Chain A
Amino acid sequence: EVQLVESGGGLVQPGGSLRLSCAASGFTFSSFWMHWVRQAPGKGLVCVSRINPDGTNTPYADSVKGRFTISRDNAKNTLYLQMNSLRAEDTAVYYCATVHSGSFHFDNWGQGTLVTVSS
């Protein structure tokens, strides 16, 4: 059974940093693109970033470019999102999700971790 478990969320002041983690199991983590998708309170889903299987391709949404860094450790089956220079508008639940090879939809999601940016 595929499992994705996010952690690392919490309350942080504007300008601060957080690192989110997503522990994966039940599939061959090192073979798949991984994604971070966020949802601000009462709002819709927005893709933040994604990373290819070997970690060499890491595009970002314009809203987080230069502030967030996605990475992965295939030996630990873990996805990361380093978030720096956080702003109030980054407040959201952050989900990790998989898009399996050859498909174009998010077939597995974690439970999400809440990031709150506030003074």
Chain B
Amino acid sequence: QSALTQPASVSGSPGQSITISCTGASSDVGSYKFVSWYQQHPGKAPKLMIFEVTRRPSGVSDRFSGSKSGNTASLTISGLQAEDEADYYCCSYAGGSTPYVFGTGTKVTVL
């Protein structure tokens, strides 16, 4: 399995919206609705932000939303805030014995 492709960095000003893409293949992102997104602040563990492409866990701000089209999933952060500055990773179920593949990660900078 190859890592899913994400842009290395995305930036935006407070209040703006940004979108992070996550490109996989027909064997992972394109085949399953099981795409999840994780936020990771420096030195901290990842935190689940989106699961099953569009669903938010309890407690996650509705400023975070997910979508998918074909082999590409996306995470949109609206109303960007300073606390959103972190690394973000996508993950897709891909079947098989080791079924989870992560993205390469995107550093979000709030200008």
Q: A-side interface residues toward B, CB under 8 Å? A: 35, 44-47, 49-50, 59-61, 95, 103-107, 109-112
In the complex, the answer to whether A44 meets B102 with C-beta atoms within 8 Å is yes
With a CB–CB cut-off of 8 A, which chain B residues contact A46? 102
CA distance A59 to B36 in the complex (A): 21
In the complex, the answer to whether A106 meets B52 with C-beta atoms within 8 Å is no
Chain B residue with Cβ nearest A61: B98
In the complex, the answer to whether B46 meets A106 with C-beta atoms within 8 Å is yes
With a CB–CB cut-off of 8 A, which chain B residues contact A111? 44-45
Chain A residue with Cβ nearest B106: A44
What does DSSP make chain A's interface, helix, strand, loop or mixed? loop
Interchain residue pairs with CB less than 8 A apart (10): A44-B89, A45-B102, A47-B98, A49-B98, A59-B97, A61-B98, A95-B45, A104-B93, A105-B51, A105-B52
Say how far A83's CB is from chain B's closest CB, in angstroms: 17
In the complex, the answer to whether A44 meets B104 with C-beta atoms within 8 Å is yes
With a CB–CB cut-off of 8 A, which chain A residues contact B105? 44-45
Chain A residue with Cβ nearest B102: A45
With a CB–CB cut-off of 8 A, which chain B residues contact A95? 45-46
- Fill in one digit per residue for B5-42: 1 if any A CB lies within 8 Å of its CB, else 0: 00000000000000000000000000010101010000
